[in-house]
Amino acid sequence: MRKPPVADHVSLNGNSDAAPGADSVVGRTGGIRLVEVGLRWPPETFLQLKLGRLVERGLEVTVGSFDPPGASTRELAGVRVKRVPGVRQTMGRWRLHLSLISLRPHVLHFEWLTVASSSLPLLHRWRGPVVVSSRGSDLPIDGPVLNRPRAEALAAVFARADAVHCVAESGRGEAQEFGLDPDKTWVIPGGVDVEFFKPAPDRAPTEDTFTIVSVGWLRWLKGHEYAVLVLAALVRQGIPAKLEVLGGDPAADTLEPSQRARIVHTARDLGVGDRLHLHGTVEAPEVRAQLQRADALLHTSLSEGLPNVILEAMACGVPVVASEVGGTREAVRDGIDGFLVPPRDPAAAAAALAALWRDPELRRRIGEAGRAHVETDFTLLRQTDRWIELYESVTADV
């Protein structure tokens, strides 16, 4: 594995360009300077949790954000945010390179393959350790997709990276099809703050409403339209179901149209428009509140890595019914923590939810099993330990 000295950067014209003051890490966790490249600010909740815990453990964390000036600058304790140029033009690449050098990083981390693949000129010239995350849903598994990297770009990213993080074993296997060396791979699943996401102390089943929650951007790959079909199937059976969808329109850089209109019109056409509620983008406290009031989580996604919301629902003691895609099967034990169903199969998902509706004891038992599973295998402490192990590994020879 390539671990050249961090201080020995190379400029875009190929000349040596040492980063001022980029001293050796010499195995000190507290001395590692981590720079996260290309995150929106504020980032997704699971990334905020990751960065916050790394700061608590002594790492110096800076986010190099591509957001334009004037974008949100909400602070995250201990995390420095610096606006850096994007890479759409040659001059942007120069400025990005110089901006990152000024931060004196010991390791660069690209949390998204889309950002890493668009930054290949930088990666080819950067001489310090680079970590890249492959989250599963950003791989073009079913052929070229407009907003996903091309196969040759992925191969180049994987070849350059010193370590590649996958959120699930399934993602490791999928990434290997695009040239990932298995010896570089670190499987680090999501982690949940089990003190924050926890069952409501006074939650009691209700007989007049069956509350189902779905969480995710209103993107085609989240399959919300199938969730509406499930809702309609339950209502036809006489089950007083309602569907609460938490998630906003896709961000502009996904280059995808919102599925909001399709979801709303499908619900109206099926006669369940009054049982569907689109809440838009919500913060973590509202996600928790909705989960604590829910009877089940429905996750009809068509493509996934390992969905954080599934872990959050399990931590809240909520039974899960989810499409068996990506790493979902590595979180949900079918029949124990919830039910796994084939993707694009509303009848199977409706049958699983109907079983939960008819048997409150089954809901309780599955919810308790899910909570115990998260407390054992998906804690933030366990995740943070693995991140530190990874970063220490790629900087060990620095």
Specify the amino acid at residue 190: G
| Residue 126, CA distances (Å) to 45, 152, 198 in order | 29, 19, 43
Task: Indicate which CATH number applies to the domain containing 231.
Answer: 3.40.50.2000
Torsions phi, psi of 295, nearest 5?
A: -90, -25
286 with 165, same domain? no
The answer to whether position 236 is within a domain reads yes
The number of distinct structural domains making up the chain is 2
DSSP letter (8 states) at residue 76: B
Specify burial of residue 191 (Cβ count, 10 A radius: 0-12, 13-18, 19+). buried
The reply to whether 145 and 273 lie within a common domain is no
The residues with which 83 forms a beta bridge, in sequence order, are 65
Give strand ranges (E) for 17-78: 33-37, 60-65
Do 245 and 185 lie in one domain? The reply is no
At which residue do the structure tokens 């966790």 appear?
29
- Please say whether the beta carbons of 108 and 35 come within 8 A: yes
Please give the residue that has the higher pLDDT: either 299 or 41: 299
| Claim to verify: residue 173 and residue 59 sit in the same structural domain | yes
Q: Are residues 320 and 217 in the same domain?
A: yes
39 plus 172 within the same structural domain = yes
Domain assignment of residue 15, yes or no = no
Question: Can you tell me the mean pLDDT for 29-55?
Answer: 89
pLDDT of residue 135: 86
Which two three-digit tokens encode residue 41? Answer: 């600010």
- Asked whether residue 20 is assigned to any structural domain, the reply reads no
Dihedral sign of CA atoms 98, 159, 47, 53 in order = negative
Q: What is the pLDDT of residues 202-228, one digit of tens each?
A: 876 667 899 999 999 999 989 999 999
- The pTM for the full model equals 0.85
Top pLDDT among 354 and 101 is at: 354
Please check whether residue 349 is in contact with residue 338, taking contact to mean a CB–CB distance below 8 angstroms.
no
The helix (H) or strand (E) run that includes residue 323 is strand 320-323
List C-alpha distances in Å: 367 to 2, 182, 243, 321: 45, 35, 19, 12
- Same structural domain, 179 and 315: no
Q: Is residue 18 part of a domain?
A: no
Residues 120 and 142 in one domain: yes
Range of 171's domain? 29-191+380-394
On whether both 325 and 298 belong to a single domain, the answer is yes
| Burial of 66 (C-beta count, 10 Å sphere; 0-12/13-18/19+) | buried
Q: Give yes or no: residues 132 and 222 share one domain.
A: no
Report the run of H or E that residue 338 belongs to, with start and end.
strand 338-341
Three-class SS state of 130: strand
Of the listed ranges 128-137, 145-154, 203-212, 279-288, the one predicted with least confidence? 145-154
- With 70 as the cut, is the pLDDT of residue 91 above it? no
pLDDT at position 147 over 80: no
| pLDDT tier for residue 21 given thresholds of 50, 70 and 90 | very low
Q: Residue 52: its pLDDT value, please?
A: 94
CA atoms within 13 Å, Cβ hemisphere of 59: 29
Can you give the pLDDT at residue 83? 84
* DSSP bridge pairs for 65: 83
Do 102 and 11 contact (CB within 8 A), yes or no?
no
One-character DSSP codes across 26-38: TT-GGG-EEEEES
* C-alpha neighbours within 13 Å on the C-beta side of residue 64: 29
Q: Which of 198, 209, 221, 187 is nearest to 327 (CA)?
A: 187
Asked if residue 8 belongs to a domain, the reply is no
Whether residue 34 lies inside any domain: the answer is yes
The reply to whether 166 and 224 lie within a common domain is no
Q: Which amino acid is at 139?
A: L
Q: Which is nearest to 297 in space by CA: 358, 237, 339, 248?
A: 339
Closest to 283 (Cα-Cα) out of 225, 215, 220: 215
The amino acid at 58: G
Please name which of 335, 283, 340 lies closest in space to residue 310, comparing C-alpha atoms. Answer: 340
Shared domain check, 171 and 71: yes
Residue 24 lies in a domain: no
- Asked if the structure places residue 161 within a domain, the reply is yes
Token code pair at residue 61: 């964390």
Report residue 212 CA to chain centroid gap.
Answer: 22
Q: Which residues, in sequence order, are CB contacts of 285 under 8 Å at separation 6+?
A: none
